[in-house]
């Protein structure tokens, strides 16, 4: 007998995903091939170890699948060595820290309120528990990373590792400059490109692979694959340490169904359509940020170079949490976000983060970005007018119904 409870809920979630204007910068819609690979019998298989060196029998096809995933990742990123086993971005970062550093070592990362990730040293995360983290933020007046300031902090702190990359920074990251700064104190440079890896593959954001000693990325954000992560490097010695750092140090059996789905996503990312897709993500992010600025919203750094931007809501007199909930009630999904030096705690926060990877997957373009900016601005204006809100919600559903979630991208 089928489990009606769970499958009914899955159906409801699928409907929600198709109804909403999805503007959460870290989300996307995978192809049905990625879904099928992830839902395949590979989930039944134990395969601790690496291709050719497993601790279980019956791994012939599993080995081939993992090798395909590795080769494809090497190809799309133009990198020498890849580990495709990390279960998530957080576990990839844990593996890197523990394989290349000693517990208690000093690391410099971007602070959370400026756009850094939890795993870049937050006190409530393993990173902050296990290592002595220091942080850099963004320039108070421009909102950009000030590399001279980063150099000054590095001179003082002398970290063993510098982590660059972020979850809510809308400008290009200068990996070359970060490498120069790292070299000045002999630190290891780690680039966490979880958010921007799709742009990097498409050549729409400078790549860190020739500058950072080690690169981590999730596979489910702009890369449009299954939930998971990979670790990359061009350095053979670092790779040997990373291999041990993933298994057996921090993980057991790899999720082979997810690795197969990663391989499918890398296949899809190797097509010219993927490059066009990433270009369009940026065109849409620029269009949506300009349209919101034109409607009186305060966008950090006044625009974006990538797939996302953060709106500072302080002058609007509404918190990030309130605005997120308000938009949610009208089928628009965003995530609240702290702003640099946020007066509010992260659970409330003073901003919202908006990203265009998902709406671009649905083939929306600049015209729809104008329409979405109108929705967001009217929802704010009429937040106390129930009747008006109801009519905006209807218009939102009309828009999403015209842009079905694609089943395939190549
Ligand atoms: C999303 C993200 C991660 C973590 O990914 P999870 O899979 O949620 O653990 C790590 N680093 C950065 C910069 C991210 O944006």
The residue whose CA has the least distance to atom 15 of ligand 1 is 167
Residue pair 325/255 in contact (Cβ under 8 Å)? The answer is: no
What is the per-residue pLDDT across 200-258, written as a single tens digit (0 to 9) for each? 999 999 999 999 999 999 999 999 999 999 999 999 999 999 999 999 999 999 999 99
227 flagged as catalytic = yes
Which residue of 95, 112, 192 sits with most ligand 1 atoms within 8 Å of its CB, as the best mutation to test the pocket? Answer: 192
* Whole-number average pLDDT of the chain: 97
State how far the Cα of 155 lies from the Cα of 194, in Å rounded to an integer: 27
State how far the Cα of 369 lies from the Cα of 354, in Å rounded to an integer: 12
366 flagged as catalytic = no
List 229's β-bridge partners, or say none. 218
Given 48, 63, 370, 374, which residue is catalytic?
A: 48
Mark 171-194 as b/e (b = at least 16 C-beta within 10 Å). bbbbbebbbebbeeeebbbbbbbb
Say whether pTM exceeds 0.85: yes
DSSP 381-403: HTTT-HHHHHHHHHHHHHHHHTS
Q: What local confidence, expressed as pLDDT, does residue 359 receive?
A: 98
Q: What local confidence, expressed as pLDDT, does residue 133 receive?
A: 98
Q: Span 65-74, mean pLDDT?
A: 98
State how far the Cα of 373 lies from the Cα of 366, in Å rounded to an integer: 11
Confidence at 113, pLDDT banded by 50, 70, 90: confident
Number of C-beta neighbours around residue 64 at 10 A: 12
What is the per-residue pLDDT across 16-57, written as a single tens digit (0 to 9) for each? 999 999 999 999 999 999 999 999 999 999 999 999 999 999
Given 17, 27, 33, 46, which residue is catalytic?
A: 46
DSSP 229-249: EEEEES-HHHHHHHHHIIIII
218 flagged as catalytic = yes
Which residue of 169, 198, 218 sits with most ligand 1 atoms within 8 Å of its CB, as the best mutation to test the pocket? Answer: 218
Q: Count, in order, helices (H) and strands (E) of the chain.
A: 15, 15
Residue 3 backbone class (left: φ over 0; alpha: ψ -120 to 50; beta: rest) = beta
Given 192, 268, 305, 342, which residue is catalytic?
A: 192
192 flagged as catalytic = yes
From the CA of 290, how far away is ligand 1's center (Å)?
A: 27
Q: Atom of ligand 1 at shortest distance to CA of 120?
A: 11
Bridge pairing between strands 188-192 and 214-218? parallel
Q: What local confidence, expressed as pLDDT, does residue 165 receive?
A: 97
Half-sphere exposure (Cβ direction) of 318: Cα atoms closer than 13 Å: 20
The residue whose CA has the least distance to atom 10 of ligand 1 is 89
| Residue among 122, 110, 94 nearest 345 (CA) | 122
Q: Atom of ligand 1 at shortest distance to CA of 93?
A: 10
66 flagged as catalytic = no
List 192's β-bridge partners, or say none. 216
State how far the Cα of 253 lies from the Cα of 110, in Å rounded to an integer: 32
Q: What local confidence, expressed as pLDDT, does residue 26 receive?
A: 98
What is the per-residue pLDDT across 139-179, written as a single tens digit (0 to 9) for each? 999 999 999 999 999 999 999 999 999 999 999 999 999 99
Bridge pairing between strands 49-50 and 53-54? antiparallel
From the CA of 89, how far away is ligand 1's center (Å)?
A: 4
Tell me the residue ranges of DSSP E strands in 273-386: 298-299, 308-312, 332-333, 335-337, 351-355
54 flagged as catalytic = no
Which residue of 135, 167, 215 sits with most ligand 1 atoms within 8 Å of its CB, as the best mutation to test the pocket? Answer: 167
Residue pair 77/201 in contact (Cβ under 8 Å)? The answer is: yes
Dihedral (CA of 56, 59, 64, 65) sign: negative
List 333's β-bridge partners, or say none. 22
Given 227, 275, 316, 321, which residue is catalytic?
A: 227
Torsion angle (degrees, nearest 10) of CA 280, 281, 284, 289: -150
What is the per-residue pLDDT across 292-316, written as a single tens digit (0 to 9) for each? 999 999 999 999 999 999 999 999 9
């Amino acid at each position: 007998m089928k489990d009606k409870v769970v499958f009914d809920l899955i159906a409801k979630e699928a409907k929600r995903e198709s109804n909403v204007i999805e503007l959460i910068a870290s989300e996307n819609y995978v192809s049905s091939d990625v879904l099928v690979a992830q839902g395949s019998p590979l989930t039944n298989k134990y395969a601790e170890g690496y291709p050719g060196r497993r601790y279980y029998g019956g791994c012939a096809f599993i080995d081939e699948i993992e090798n395909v995933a590795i080769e494809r990742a090497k190809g799309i990123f133009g990198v020498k060595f890849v580990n495709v086993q990390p279960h998530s971005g957080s576990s990839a970062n844990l593996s890197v820290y523990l394989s290349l550093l000693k517990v208690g070592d000093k690391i410099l990362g971007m602070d959370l309120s400026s756009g850094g990730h939890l795993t870049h040293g937050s006190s409530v995360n393993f990173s902050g528990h296990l290592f002595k983290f220091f942080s850099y933020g963004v320039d108070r007046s421009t909102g950009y990373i000030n590399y001279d300031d980063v150099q000054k902090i590095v001179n003082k702190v002398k970290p063993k590792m510098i982590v660059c990359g972020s979850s809510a920074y809308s400008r290009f990251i200068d990996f070359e400059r970060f490498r120069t700064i790292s070299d000045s104190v002999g630190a290891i440079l780690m680039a966490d490109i979880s958010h921007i890896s799709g742009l990097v593959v498409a050549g729409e954001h400078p790549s860190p692979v020739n500058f950072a000693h080690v690169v981590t990325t999730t596979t489910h954000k702009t890369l449009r694959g299954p939930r998971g992560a990979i670790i990359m490097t061009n350095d053979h010695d670092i790779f040997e340490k990373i291999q041990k750092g993933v298994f057996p140090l921090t993980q057991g059996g790899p999720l082979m169904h997810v690795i197969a789905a990663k391989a499918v996503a890398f296949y899809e990312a190797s097509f010219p359509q993927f490059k066009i897709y990433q270009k369009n993500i940026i065109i849409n992010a620029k269009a949506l940020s300009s349209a919101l600025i034109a409607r009186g919203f305060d966008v950090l750094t006044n625009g974006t170079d990538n797939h996302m931007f953060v709106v500072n809501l302080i002058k609007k007199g509404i918190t990030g949490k309130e605005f997120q909930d308000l938009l949610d009630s009208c089928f628009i999904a965003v995530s609240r976000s702290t702003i640099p030096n946020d007066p509010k705690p992260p659970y409330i926060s003073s901003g919202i983060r908006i990203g265009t990877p998902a709406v671009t997957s649905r083939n929306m373009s600049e015209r729809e970005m104008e329409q979405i900016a109108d929705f967001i601005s009217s929802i704010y204006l009429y937040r106390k007018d129930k009747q008006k809100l109801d009519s905006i919600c209807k218009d939102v559903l009309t828009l999403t119904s015209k842009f079905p979630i694609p089943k395939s991208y190549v």
